[in-house]
Structure 1
Amino acid sequence: MEGAYNLKYSFIGEWYDNQASLIRRFNVFYYPTDDTLEMFDLKNRKTFVRRVKVNGITLDKFYIGCTLYILGRLIKIVDFACEDTKNKLLRDMQVTFGMIKPTPTTTAGKILTHFHTHGLRVTKMKKARLSDEDVSVLFRRMVTDPTYPFLLEFLTGQHVYGLELVGRDAVESAIKIVGDKDPLKAEPDTIRALYGLDAVRNCVHVSSNVEDALFDIDYFFPPPALRSSRLTLTATLSNCTLCIVKPHAVREGKLGAALEEIDSAGFDITALNMFIVENINAAEFYEVYKGIVPEYKGMVEELASGPCVAMEIVAKDKNVNTAVEFRKLVGPADPEIARLLRPQTMRAKLGNTKVQNAIHCSDLAEDGLLEVEYFFKILGL
């Protein structure tokens, strides 16, 4: 039994220490028998974090390139630390790049759900406007294809969703899930067969091999130094409100359903980004509830427990107050009460408990813009 208890996977993790202005490297050990982890400082050669269970961190959260929130620090997993771990987990933790082309938001939601139900998790996501240069880089393999001029015209200046997808043999799986480039030739129940129109307007693009996938992910989700100049976010900061799909709902594959609900209720998603919110930022964001709402501590812990998706929401009807109308769609804070009194609301359909109620939205009309700015200006930088 002792051997099983000490079964562990080993990774290399990096943490940027702001105070010292340097990157610290660690061995991050994960013990699957009890979902605990420990960290060993490689430079100082001593234990940095003793074996402990961290809320929200399980084996499926680990993959190369992921960021984990561990006891107040954002740790980026950059490599496997031993061949044994690599051999056991590499196929399950493969990443690939996907892009949802210009398409109705309801269709984008269905595509996200399709990926999830077929075993690929969305671990990064961002809405961005493509320049002609972006198209030439992301579709560099197609420059000599006869459809490329039409593709360039179709995508330039348009909004798309970029995705990092993680799962077993993710590159090959994604290619199989999306189907043939021509929707008429695609296998039934593939994304392009279900939602594509033609070889250009075929809903989705995915990387063709592992090397391309890593390049495309780095290009679409650049490091902080390049974020202001490449594939910038699309927030309008006008008559808007904030919607957050909470970490538990993202994990449970409810993101696609949330997009469908928002679109069908008469709202546009004008900006979207996936965030990992540090505990200190979650506490700051929810500070207005401190001492007022009994669930405050749980709300903070939930928001910091993994990736969430923040969206700027704008009503399609320009004569209504977006924040007020969207608040009605989200519904009562307690999903049980929502299911009784407002069964058509998002929390009634997607929420579990008062803390895990799937969706945060701005409570007050005047807070909508402030909350959007907090995520898309302050945390976005």
Structure 2
Amino acid sequence: MEGAYKDKYTFIGEWYDNQASLIRRFNVFYYPTDDTIEMYDLKNRKTFLRRVKVNGVTLDNFFIGSTLYILGRLIKITDFACEDTKKKLHKDMQVTFALIKPIPTRIAGKIITHFYEHGLKITKMKKACVTSDDVSFLCRSQVSDNTFPFLLEYLSGNQVYGMELVGKDAVAVAMKVLGDKDPSKAEPGTIRALFGSDPVRNCVHVSSDPDGAIQDIEYFFPPPPQHLSRLRLTATLSNCTLSIIKPHAIREGKLGAALEAIDEGGFDITALNMFMVENVNASEFYEVYKGIVQEYKGMVEELASGPCVAMEIVAKDKNLNTAVEFRKLVGPSDPDIARLLRPHTIRAKLGKTKVQNAIHCSDLAEDGLLEVEYFFKILDL
């Protein structure tokens, strides 16, 4: 099982087997001709998964450090399994870290879209409140700058969005897309030129080199159990409802537009995290629809098909019932009906089908808090 052939790429993948409490290692083969995957158990020396198509998994998903959801298992890609695959992919694909500073959600949405349009995909993301220690680590390259004390004051105790970005030459591309640290000197059309105001309030901080990017990502997105004691999420669990930007919408670059629509619709995003939802959890989450909604099976498969973004939503007007009002903004479950009857709703603008309708929201007011707790207190453990 060595080497790569013209019709496939080979990787080393790891899966943590909860029942056996051990890490299993595989050769993971990807066939670009038909987007199929095959897995070979390295310890037992036998085929673990025969060649099969996995919804939502393409060659773009394969890079060192990526996590793939393959038929109920989270497989982490840890290395290339052959030199041919490494030569073809490694020289281009890279990860970097970006931190969106405290700015209006609609601007954050525009920035996310800007990254996507320049070939940078978000593979990890969460909203967190940072301390002075967090800022000192993440912005350590700027400690000697005369603006650093102001940056420390600006960010400490405030909420930010941290993101892992993946793309060709991601570190250099992200820095170019941002522009000069001083927005007044940034090239026209760059993020800082468009949305920044000064060298401190310049919208986004990004890692300055590949090694630093890896360190930043590991710091902001620590593995269990460290994530329980560092950079806790920001859920309020009060007069809230849940919203999920579905995997297909993430892949299609619609996350930024969804954040803009939520902000402009009169709602705050008080917590946000990108999740890989396993099939068993998707089934459990949508269980209320089982036997009632014809699309139940498709809904489960869609939610488990790749990264989704879960958010706690709170109405800016504290006198409103968040769940009821947000449901109006999201619109009918069928995007075609939404476009006909309520064309200004999120599903009308971003949805495709009843299953791929871009966004989930709590249908019943009493379910809003329960669904938020499911994602931010149970799945986040």
TM range (shorter): over 0.9
Partners of 1:38 and 1:52 within 8 A in 2: yes
CA distance in 2, matches of 1:187, 1:339: 38
Partners of 1:5 and 1:31 within 8 A in 2: no
Aligned AA for 2:222?
A: P
CA distance in 2, matches of 1:161, 1:57: 25
Match of 1:288 in 2: 288
CA distance in 1, matches of 2:360, 2:162: 23
Q: Equivalent residues in 2 for 1:295-334 (5 A)?
A: 295-334=295-334
CA distance in 1, matches of 2:56, 2:110: 26
Corresponding position: 1:13 with 2:13: yes
CA distance in 2, matches of 1:172, 1:131: 27
CA distance in 1, matches of 2:128, 2:272: 8
Match of 2:340 in 1: 340
Deviating above 3 A after TM superposition, structure 1's stretches of 4 or more consecutive aligned residues are none
Partners of 1:109 and 1:255 within 8 A in 2: yes
C-alpha distance after superposition, 1:167-187 (max 9, x if no partner):
111011001000100001101
Aligned AA for 2:313?
A: I
Match of 1:167 in 2: 167
Cα offset, 1:93, TM superposition: 2.2
CA distance in 2, matches of 1:335, 1:63: 34
Q: Name which of structure 1's ranges 16-25 and 5-14 shifts more when overlaid on structure 2.
A: 5-14
CA distance in 2, matches of 1:287, 1:159: 33
Cα offset, 1:130, TM superposition: 0.4
Match of 1:181 in 2: 181
Cα offset, 1:55, TM superposition: 1.3
Q: Which runs of 5+ in 1 are unaligned?
A: none
Partners of 1:5 and 1:33 within 8 A in 2: no
CA distance in 2, matches of 1:156, 1:219: 16
SS at match of 1:97: strand
Aligned AA for 1:135?
A: V
CA distance in 2, matches of 1:54, 1:105: 33
CA distance in 1, matches of 2:98, 2:72: 31
CA distance in 2, matches of 1:30, 1:6: 11
Corresponding position: 1:105 with 2:113: no
Partners of 1:6 and 1:31 within 8 A in 2: no
Match of 1:74 in 2: 74
CA distance in 1, matches of 2:91, 2:234: 34
SS at match of 2:183: coil
CA distance in 2, matches of 1:294, 1:196: 47
CA distance in 1, matches of 2:6, 2:229: 46
C-alpha distance after superposition, 1:195-220 (max 9, x if no partner):
00000000001101100000000000
Match of 1:376 in 2: 376
CA distance in 1, matches of 2:355, 2:127: 27
Match of 2:29 in 1: 29
Aligned AA for 1:129?
A: C
Match of 1:352 in 2: 352
Match of 1:205 in 2: 205
CA distance in 2, matches of 1:5, 1:231: 43
Partners of 1:29 and 1:39 within 8 A in 2: yes
Partners of 1:100 and 1:160 within 8 A in 2: yes
SS at match of 1:227: helix
Partners of 1:62 and 1:93 within 8 A in 2: no
Cα offset, 1:300, TM superposition: 0.4
* TM-score after normalising by structure 2: 0.98
CA distance in 2, matches of 1:345, 1:171: 36
Match of 1:268 in 2: 268
Q: CA RMSD in A?
A: 1.0
Cα offset, 1:6, TM superposition: 6.2
Match of 2:196 in 1: 196
Corresponding position: 1:366 with 2:376: no
CA distance in 1, matches of 2:134, 2:204: 16
CA distance in 1, matches of 2:133, 2:352: 43
Aligned AA for 2:98?
A: G
Match of 1:278 in 2: 278
SS at match of 2:164: strand
CA distance in 1, matches of 2:101, 2:340: 38
Aligned AA for 1:44?
A: N
Q: Percent identity?
A: 79
CA distance in 2, matches of 1:227, 1:122: 19
Distance 1:294 1:5, change over 3 A: farther
SS at match of 1:232: coil
